[in-house]
Amino acid sequence: MAKYAGKDFSVFLVDGYNLIASLSESASMGKESITQQTNPFGVGSEGHSPIGLIKGMLAVGGGFFDAATDALHNIVADVTGFTRIVSAAMEGNTIGKHFMGFEGAIDSKYEVTDKRDGLTMANVSYLVSGDVNEGIIVQDLAAFTASWDTKTGGAGATDAPVDYSVDPGQRVIPITSNSMAAASVVTCPIAHGLTTGQIILISGVITSSPTINGQRTVTVLSSTTFSVPVDTSLGAAGTGGTFVLCSTVAGGVGYLHCTAFAITNLVYKIMHSPDDITYAALITFTTLTAIGKERKTVSGTIDRYLSSQGTNTGAGSVTVFSGLCRN
C-alpha cells in the first residue's frame, strides 16, 4: 500500500492559481454523508439515517501570508461569495495519480494571524457547494511552448496515456468459472455491476480453451453472470480469474486549470481511446486566452485510455493541469 506525506502534496489549484507555495501547516479536504437522528423518546441509543446529501469539506490552515498578485491573500481574501473551482493533488504532480476536484468552493472565512515570535500566517475556510469529485490526473501541471499530445506516439510530450485498467482505486471482481458455449458464460461469486456493452479486462482464468483472458465486451445475463464473445463450445470451460473495468458508462467530470498564459490561445482536450491507438475527443474545454479554469461534465461511455491534447496558437508558453473523474 502506497503511503504519502506532505512532500507529495504539490498542487493546490484555486481558479487557475497554484497556491501550494503559500501552504505550510495543513490542508484538509473530504466528504461527509449528511444524516438525521431518528431515535424516538424512550430509546437509549442514537439512531441515524442518511438523507441522501453529501457535504464537501475543504480548509487550509497555517498558510503563509502573501500579498503578491497570484498568491494566497489576493486570491482568497475576498469573502463576498466568490465560488471557486479547486483541484488538489495529494499524491504528487504526476499523470495517473489521484486528485480531488471541488465544483464550488466559497471563501467563507479568511483570517490573518500574527505572533511575536513567528511569521504572519493566513487561514482559509471554504463552504463547499456542489460536487466533490475524485479522479485521475490526465495532465500534470507543466509548461508547454508548442502543441502536444500525451498519447503513445503523440507529439510534443512524453508518452503518458492513462490506462484505467491499472488504476489502483479499481475494484477487482473475482470469477468463479466460464462455460463451454458459443459465447462463454462467466459466473462471479458476487454482483459484477456491469452493463451490456461495457469493456473489461479478464486475467488469471485457467483451463479455458480458447482463453477468455484479455479485453472483452460483455453481455449481461444476470447480476452475477455475463457472456463474452469467445467460442469455447468445442474447447474447455475455465475456472478462477478476475476482471477489472476498461470502460465506464456513466460519464464523468473534467477539470482544467491554466496557471500561466503567454500565447495567443489554447484549445485543450481530454481524449479517450479503447486501444491507445485511435483517439477521439472526450471533453473539449472552452478556448483559453488567459489564465483561468473550467469544470465540464460529459455523459456516456469513457474508454480505457485517456490522453491530454493541447493545440497552441502563437509563440510563448502556457502552463496547464487537468484531470478526469469517472462517475
Strands 132-144 and 219-220 come out as unpaired
Are residues 245 and 164 in contact, defined by beta-carbon separation less than 8 angstroms? yes
pLDDT at 247: 94
Q: Output b/e per residue, 249-265; b: 16+ Cβ within 10 A.
A: beebbbbbbbbbbebee
Give which of 109, 97, 161 is closest to 134, Cα–Cα: 97
The CB-based long-range contact list for 277-282 (8 Å cut-off, 24+ gap) reads 277/152, 279/151, 279/305, 279/307, 279/309, 281/309, 282/254, 282/306, 282/324
Q: What is the CA radius of gyration of the chain?
A: 24
Task: Report how far residue 27's alpha carbon sits from residue 89's, in angstroms, rounded to the nearest whole number.
Answer: 11
176-240: CATH architecture: Beta Barrel (2.40)
58, 70, 148, 260 from 83: Cα distances, Å:
13, 17, 31, 21
Task: Report how far residue 26's alpha carbon sits from residue 45's, in angstroms, rounded to the nearest whole number.
Answer: 35
All residues at 6 or more sequence positions from 20 whose CB lies less than 8 Å from its CB, including other chains? 9, 10, 11, 12
Task: Report how far residue 59's alpha carbon sits from residue 199's, in angstroms, rounded to the nearest whole number.
Answer: 39
Query: Model's pTM, two decimal places?
Result: 0.88
Are residues 183 and 163 in contact, defined by beta-carbon separation less than 8 angstroms? no
Using left for φ > 0, alpha for ψ between -120 and 50, and beta otherwise, residue 234 falls in alpha
Are residues 195 and 249 in contact, defined by beta-carbon separation less than 8 angstroms? yes
Q: Look at the domain 140-166+249-326 and name its fold.
A: Jelly Rolls (2.60.120)
Task: Report how far residue 73's alpha carbon sits from residue 58's, in angstroms, rounded to the nearest whole number.
Answer: 17
| E-only strand ranges, 175-317 | 177-178, 185-187, 199-203, 214-217, 219-220, 225-227, 238-239, 242-245, 252-261, 265-273, 280-284, 292-298, 305-313
User: How many Cα neighbours within 13 Å face the side chain of 148?
Assistant: 21
Task: Report how far residue 28's alpha carbon sits from residue 62's, in angstroms, rounded to the nearest whole number.
Answer: 12
**Residue type at 62 in one-letter notation:** G
Q: Which stretches within the chain are classed as H helix? A: 72-76
Q: Output b/e per residue, 63-88; b: 16+ Cβ within 10 A.
A: bbbbeeebbbbebbeebeeebbbbbb
Task: Report how far residue 33's alpha carbon sits from residue 48's, in angstroms, rounded to the nearest whole number.
Answer: 11
Q: Which residue has the cell 511552448?
A: 145
Taking only the tens of pLDDT, the chain with its 327 residues reads 677 777 777 888 988 888 787 776 777 778 888 889 899 888 889 988 988 888 888 877 767 777 766 666 666 666 666 788 999 998 999 999 999 999 988 877 778 888 788 788 777 777 888 888 999 999 999 999 999 999 988 877 788 899 999 998 889 999 999 999 999 999 999 999 999 999 999 999 999 999 999 999 999 999 999 999 999 999 999 999 999 999 999 999 999 999 999 999 999 999 999 999 999 999 999 999 999 999 999 999 999 999 999 999 999 999 999 999 999
DSSP state of 194: -
